[in-house]
Amino acid sequence: MKSVYAAVDIGASSGRVILGRMGTDGPSLEVIHRFPNGVQETDGALRWDIDALFVEVLHGLTLARELTDAKGERVVSIGVDTWAVDYGLVNDDGALASQPHSYRDSRTTGVLDRVHGKVPFDRLYETTGLQFLPFNTVYQLAAEPSLENVQALLIPDLLGFWLTGKRRTEITNASTTGLLDASTGNFSSHLLDALDIPRRIFPTLMEPGETLGTLLPSITERTGLDSATTVIAVGSHDTASAVAAVPAGVDNFAYISSGTWSLVGVELSEPILTEAGRAANFTNERGVDGTIRYLRNCGGLWLLQECLREWGRSVTLEQVLAEAAELPAGGPRIDADSDDFIAPEKMPHRIRSAAGEALESPAAVVRCILDSLAQVYARTLEQAAQLSGKPIDVVHIVGGGSQNRLLCQLTADVTGLPVLAGPVEATALGNVLVQARADGALGAGALGTGATLDDIRTAVRSTAQTTRYEPSRQTETALT
């Protein structure tokens, strides 16, 4: 029976359940279920509706079973990745205290000084190498009324717990908590103690490729999947899975994982915990196979998503992008990276105020967003090269934003570097390929479980669709 791998990939704006198959040419994906995601105000806070998301996951897995049954295939494993940082608090009986807070909630504003009073930010950075973001898990935990007798399960770990009954903490996502020691790869007991966070707060760490467990009877009954189906830890931080599937064929590459956020950086084998890196707010997040994602979390297409939400049906993404592409280069720009754009609501108004110029049409607002993002990308890539000493010959853009032709071209223009855009579903590919490797199925079995990250990328290149954008001098000079 042919083996199929199910990837559950939930971003801040949408989720999907995808079937991955390994063919003689390489991996192929079939998106079988898509569902929207977004923050909602509930009980006076911005939260994720995790119960509704889990219903969607189970629906997707049921479809996976139906579709594979019909073809005489079998879902051998499931991997779950989501956005980072957020978690659900679960008591000893496994009950969830409340729907998880979203990182866009303002509850951490009042606790930053308290945390830094106990451990100043430079000391946090020295240990964790994590960039300052006001919503890092460490600050969210400080905003909880109590951490007694609970464990924090990061969102993919929470979904994994609901599928298998097993509690673990996958390491790529753990590296976004602000409590993982970047040098040792363990939670820092020193930081946990200094911040009065109980040591048992996070379940034991696990690496991508390890088995979390098999499905609970309630899940096999609900989905029809068999009880031998395993849940495999993948790069459960969506960005870790996306970076694992960057179709790089050379060493000197940089990546932009472009979705709600833009994750802009390079891949390293060791963390860089320097003062200069801290000043530039670069992060050292863990990647698949112990790699380091040396990157900055920069503003992203959230700005555009929020404008579209406000404009409603009268403005479509396709139309507004086409109109924005017709506008001249060199228009107004904003700091797309500013914390002022983290919260939802009134985005067009906030962008117009920040631009300080009349942006008459939706297309003018969109052009301003994209010019500004391209500028942030160029600045960040230059810093990444400088701080890491790693030259950059090509920039890979993956994720939903890789379909935005204007953004890709502007990025090539402003950086002066070729841009290779795609695959759109890099995250799901990274998820599927880590599962396939764990199953010994990467490289048609020849490489088996010993396949490296390079082998994973070679597999991606064999079937991924990419579009190349060359820098055009005209726009480059207009924007820099």
Q: Which residues sit at the interface with ligand LRH, rule CB under 6 A? A: 11-12, 83-85, 103, 237-239, 259-261, 263, 297
Work out whether 315 is an interface residue with ligand ADP (CB under 6 A).
no
User: Per rule CB under 6 A, is residue 399 in the interface with ligand ADP?
Assistant: yes
Selected from 403, 418, 448, 463, the binder of ligand ADP by CB under 6 A is 403
Residue 399 contact among ligand LRH, ligand ADP, none, beta carbon within 5 to 8 Å by kind:
ligand ADP
Q: Can you tell me whether residue 253 is helix, strand or coil?
A: strand
Whether the Cβ atoms of residue 20 and residue 28 lie closer than 8 Å to each other: yes
Q: Does 277 bind ligand ADP (CB under 6 A)?
A: no
Among 131, 262, 283, 404, binds ligand ADP (CB under 6 A): 404
Please report how close the Cβ of residue 178 comes to ligand LRH at its closest, in angstroms. Answer: 11
- 20/259 with CB nearer ligand ADP: 259
Q: Give the pairing of strands 150-154 and 87-91.
A: antiparallel
d(C-alpha 175, C-alpha 387), whole Å: 20
The candidate with the shortest Cα–Cα distance to 36, out of 11, 68, 1, 71, is 11
Closer CB to ligand ADP, residue 119 or residue 324? 324
Residue 47 Cβ vs ligand LRH, minimum distance, rounded to whole Å? 15
Gap between the Cα atoms of 422 and 419, Å rounded: 10
Binders of ligand ADP among 154-193, rule CB under 6 A? none
DSSP code per residue over 60-109:
HHHHHHHHHHHTTEEEEEEEEEE-SS-EEEEETT--BSSSPBPTTSGGGT
Nearest residue to 133 (alpha-carbon basis) of 115, 159, 155, 156: 115
Give one DSSP letter per residue of 408-477, joined into a string. Answer: HHHHHHHHTS-EEE--TTHHHHHHHHHHHHHTT-TTTTTSGGG--HHHHHHHHHHH---EEE---HHHHH
Residue 281 found at the interface with ligand ADP (CB under 6 A): no
Q: Is the separation of the CB atoms in 267 and 293 below 8 Å?
A: yes
Give Cα 282 to chain centroid, integer Å.
16
Check binding of 12 to ligand ADP (CB under 6 A): yes
Ranges within 25-44 binding ligand ADP (CB under 6 A): none
Binding residues with ligand ADP: total (CB under 6 A): 15
127 binds ligand ADP (CB under 6 A): no
Count of residues in the chain: 480
- Residue 63 one-letter amino acid: L
- Name which of 48 and 253 has its Cβ closer to ligand LRH: 48
CB of 215 to ligand LRH, least distance (A): 26
What is the C-alpha to C-alpha distance for residues 270 and 288, in angstroms, rounded to an integer? 13
**238 assigned to active site:** yes
Catalytic entry in 81, 157, 181, 238: 238
CA 415 to CA 211: how far, in whole Å? 41
**Interacting stretch for ligand ADP, rule CB under 6 A, among 331-339, 370-378, 381-389, 397-405?**
397-405
Q: Report the residue from 26, 129, 259, 287 that binds ligand ADP according to the rule CB under 6 A.
A: 259
Q: What is the closest distance, in whole angstroms, from the C-beta atom of residue 293 to ligand LRH in the complex?
A: 9
What values do phi and psi take at 468, rounded to 5?
A: -100, 135
Query: Least distance (Å) from ligand LRH to the CB of residue 173?
Result: 8
323 contributes a contact to ligand ADP by CB under 6 A: no
Residue 320 C-beta: closest distance to ligand ADP, Å: 10
Binding residues vs ligand ADP (CB under 6 A): 11-14, 259-260, 301, 304-305, 317, 399-401, 403-404
The catalytic residue positions are 238
